Amino acid sequence: MEKSQKTAQWDERLEAHISSERKSDYAPDYHCSTLTTSLTGELEYNLLSYLSLAFPIGWLKDETKRAEFEEWVDYLCAQFDVLHGYAGLECILPYDPDEWEPHEYQVATHYYNVMPNCNAYAGLRDYKDAAKSIAWYTILGKSLFIRIEPQVWARLAEQ
């Protein structure tokens, strides 16, 4: 905690990772990762924050867990100026993106409904003004929402 406070005082980004696995050699059942912007947002590489959550797929079958998830999404969207977000099936790998990215890519190309996501934090380079993915649960912030044309909304409503 002391190191986190010093990092915030130096106007640097803060990274945190919590998971059900104590070692990074095994894939966790659930995890929460975040990377924040600097407090002032003055550093060019550090303009967007991210929050990544992974839960067991069994939560989709449990009405209570699914309702908790949706309430939490509503809460986060009310607290932060969200650019975009999504939820879907993800290949959960050990906490070592460099070693496991090729495996994640192979799984994602074989199973089209599984999203590759091990480098979500790198989105600033490619997705600073666009959505990275559209999944079964997609969140659009105000800046993206207003860019959607009315005929697109009509087509989506018909589906």
The average pLDDT across 125-133 equals: 54
The average pLDDT across 62-79 equals: 87
Question: What are the tokens at 145?
Answer: 């929402």
Q: What is the mean pLDDT of the chain?
A: 71
**Contact by Cβ (8 Å): 29, 20:** yes
Please determine, for residue 64, whether its predicted confidence score (pLDDT) is greater than 80: yes
Please determine, for residue 159, whether its predicted confidence score (pLDDT) is greater than 70: no
**Contact by Cβ (8 Å): 53, 32:** yes
* 25: exposed, middle or buried (Cβ count in 10 Å: 0-12, 13-18, 19+): exposed
Question: What are the tokens at 72?
Answer: 């939490």
The average pLDDT across 122-126 equals: 53
Q: Categorize the per-residue pLDDT at 126 as very low, low, confident or very high, splitting at 50, 70 and 90.
A: low
Task: Say what percent of the chain tops pLDDT 90.
Answer: 3
**Contact by Cβ (8 Å): 13, 82:** no
Please determine, for residue 63, whether its predicted confidence score (pLDDT) is greater than 90: yes
Domain ranges of the chain: 2-158
Q: Categorize the per-residue pLDDT at 72 as very low, low, confident or very high, splitting at 50, 70 and 90.
A: confident
Q: How far is CA 32 from the centre of its chain?
A: 9
Contacts of 105 (CB under 8 A, 6+ apart): 116
**pLDDT of 3-62, one tens digit each?**
666 665 665 667 777 888 887 777 778 877 777 766 655 555 556 677 778 888 888 789
The average pLDDT across 74-88 equals: 78
